[in-house]
Amino acid sequence: MLVQQILKSKGDGGVVTVTPDTRVSDAAQTLAERRIGGLIVSSDGDTVDGIISERDIVRSLALRGAKTLEETVEAMMTRNPVCCSRQDKSDAVLARMTEGRFRHMPVIEDGKLAGIVTIGDVVKARLEELAMEKDALEGMIMGY
């Protein structure tokens, strides 16, 4: 399965981005409201400057305390995150996320942000694929 099939199945919900100068308290609010765990940081909506996840915020809260919430996302985002393309295989994306211990991957097309896939998206797609394969095999064996 390709990343583009996963993006298609997610629908055209768009990617939630924040600018580098967004306050961490506002980013946390967006994460809570949208029920997501990570945000792409982009100054223009096309270029990926970084990624900030709930883990970055929690880590900074533990290290620096409540003043973290007054800082900007730029102070704690991961720069140059690992990205993928629509043509990448979902298995390769899953392996990269597992090795790198992160759960979000921006999708880039023609140098611009085209979507985001999470480890949850990839696992869900793989489980659906496995269920269909199982049904097809059962159908072949049972002769229907």
Instruction: By CB under 6 A, name the binding residues for ligand AMP.
Output: 37-38, 51, 53, 55-56, 78, 81-82, 100, 102-105
Residue (72 or 104) nearer to ligand AMP, CB: 104
Count how many residues are written for the chain: 144
Q: Is the dihedral of CA 100, 111, 106, 24 positive or negative?
A: positive
Residue 69 beta carbon to ligand AMP: minimum distance, rounded to whole angstroms: 17
Q: Are 1 and 129 in contact (CB under 8 A)?
A: yes
Residue (57 or 140) nearer to ligand AMP, CB: 57
Residue (58 or 137) nearer to ligand AMP, CB: 58
Residue 38 beta carbon to ligand AMP: minimum distance, rounded to whole angstroms: 5
Residue 100 beta carbon to ligand AMP: minimum distance, rounded to whole angstroms: 6
Residue (97 or 125) nearer to ligand AMP, CB: 97
Residue 97 beta carbon to ligand AMP: minimum distance, rounded to whole angstroms: 7
Where do the H-state alpha helices sit in 3-68? 3-10, 24-34, 54-64
Output the furthest CA–CA distance in the chain (Å, rounded): 65
Query: Which helix (H) or strand (E) segment is 52 a member of?
Result: strand 50-53
Q: Which distant-in-sequence residues (6+ apart) come within 8 Å of 46 by Cβ? A: 111, 112, 113
